[in-house]
Amino acid sequence: GQQVMQIPQYQHVQEGEDFTTYCNSSTTLSNIQWYKQRPGGHPVFLIQLVKSGEVKKQKRLTFQFGEAKKNSSLHITATQTTDVGTYFCAGPRDNTDKLIFGTGTRLQVFP
Amino acid sequence: GAVVSQHPSWVICKSGTSVKIECRSLDFQATTMFWYRQFPKQSLMLMATSNEGSKATYEQGVEKDKFLINHASLTLSTLTVTSAHPEDSSFYICSARDLGLMQYFGPGTRLTVL
């Protein structure tokens, strides 16, 4: 069945370092969404990418959707302790309105 | 912005009892709501799709008789975990979909079954 994998599973960085998480789908996605989940919290929507090769920025966060619409990345520049959490990508499952979530990347930032 | 609430935020119950979790869309109508389950350090797994006025559709491997879903109105869906057991302990999260097909997530309910 359809799978959405993320690497790395965990990442520990020193505050100020950059961070990137990669999302890979086994199938082509019509769109990709990114969520952030703080420890003990619920997923919070960050952004949606729709177009092939699309790049969007939100302050220190840069999101990219691959040309083949099967992969995506989230890059954080100069991480801060407030960036701590698990980052999930998600896309439509089998072209339905249901979401399939990636495996997630847990980010820890040391001050 | 769209707000989804869940109640309760956490619950502890004895094995064998039933627990009801409510999911409400506060400022929009949601014909479709989704129920997810998340075990510690794992991703969200879709359990079922709740459709207003009709039966819920369950994902493979999710027992419909154990996880009863009722979507009685355009702003409320409930999930009842019947005869809960310790292995049902998890973080249950709902989402509500608006007319623009965006999903908004509730804050989650942490269930602990003793």
Please tell me the predicted confidence (pLDDT) of residue A49. Answer: 97
Closest chain B residue by Cα to residue A47: B102
Q: Print pLDDT tens along chain A (111 aa).
A: 899 999 999 999 999 999 999 999 999 999 999 999 999 899 999 999 999 999 999 999 999 999 999 999 999 999 999 999 999 999 999 878 899 999 999 999 999
The residues near B52 (Cβ < 8 Å, ≥ 6 apart) are: B30, B31, B32, B71, B72, B73, B74
Residue B18 near residue B69 (C-beta atoms within 8 A): no
Please tell me the predicted confidence (pLDDT) of residue B10. Answer: 96
Closest chain A residue by Cα to residue B3: A44
CA–CA min distance A79, chain B (Å) = 22
Rg of chain A over Cα atoms, rounded to whole angstroms, equals: 13
A99 vs B contacts (CB less than 8 Å): 34, 46, 103
